[in-house]
Amino acid sequence: MPIVSRPDEFNVEDLYVDLRPVLDAPLYVKCEGLNLAGSIKLKAAAEIVDAVERDGLLSRDSILVESSSGNLGVAVSMIAASRGYPFVCVTDTRCNGAAKRLMETFGARVHTVTQPDPVGGFLSARLAYVQELCAADPRYVWLNQYANPNNWIAHYRSTAPAVAQRFPDLDVLFVGAGTTGTLMGCARYFRETRSEVTIVAVDSVGSVSFGGPPGARMIPGLGSGVRPPMLEESFVDDVVLVAEMDAVRTCHRLAARGFLFGGSTGTVVSGALRWLAEHRPDNATAVALSPDFGERYLDSVYEPGWVRAMRGPDSLEDPPRTQQFAVSSAHD
């Protein structure tokens, strides 16, 4: 085992779950939650903070600030504590209580936005608050995961090469779309090195990232109320939109077989299963990226009362509503 002196120096890159015996699906899930921040967001957070340090943008008085629905905020909180920076995370009411408590335990100050912007939803409201802080006090340094190229560079350098090395015969890669940093980093890498690999973006119904109508979304992590600035659809071969209840049911199916994954993973796996059923034979080599595990979702995705309050008393008992998936070509 490695010996580390900073928490961002440890990350397990090579753990996969084979879903054939679990869900009878030809899909491998790459587990990205085995690090001290508990999610794939550690990669982007470390790359972005390293860059602002390298570029001389931080002084002794600087205060890091970022908008996050949870996992990125936890990762930055951990890094900030390790390196001695104050950090303010601007989140909203959908952020898991566990994530908020983790950030505060690391010493971060968490500001929760309670009213969404009428047009851009909670994300626009969070970004407006961040911009107000920066305009009022020059000590604030906005990391801006939404437009910072170091977000996608992190996955171009690490996530995608790790998948390529483990699966030299890879046919299709499924990546969830939030800021689209992970998606763009992986898509760029495979476009340059193995263009025959199909890149499928998985997004939530209600997200506007790929031009869909806006709608209410309760599971943090994937989806966006505004179009992600770094998204370039020309690098994406297909898009699957997944209704939140399908994501929840997939999480519960996995948990019933002993695998506790987060809400974003449920979304990505749900979309991948539908896409594979329609487009690929059983002998395809397919990988889906799992951003985190499920412990932070025990009060939401895995809490029957939360689910029924969101979608009705029979939400978990109904059979999966696969017709709610919408598959569309990103090139249309």
Task: Say what the pLDDT of residue 316 is.
Answer: 60
DSSP lists the bridge partners of residue 204 as: 242
Task: Give 67-124 pLDDT, tens digit per residue.
Answer: 999 999 999 999 999 999 999 999 999 898 999 999 999 999 999 999 999 988 999 9
As a whole number, mean pLDDT of residues 245-272 equals: 97
Share of the chain above pLDDT 70, in %: 92
pLDDT at 324 over 50: no
Task: Say what the pLDDT of residue 15 is.
Answer: 98
Intervals of CATH 3.40.50.1100 along the chain: 7-34+149-328, 41-142
Task: For domain 7-34+149-328, give the CATH number.
Answer: 3.40.50.1100
Q: Does domain 41-142 have CATH number 3.40.50.1100?
A: yes
Task: Give 160-195 pLDDT, tens digit per residue.
Answer: 999 999 999 999 999 999 999 999 999 999 999 999
Q: Which pTM value belongs to this model?
A: 0.92
Under the banding of pLDDT at 50, 70 and 90, the label for residue 325 is very low
As a whole number, mean pLDDT of residues 231-259 equals: 97
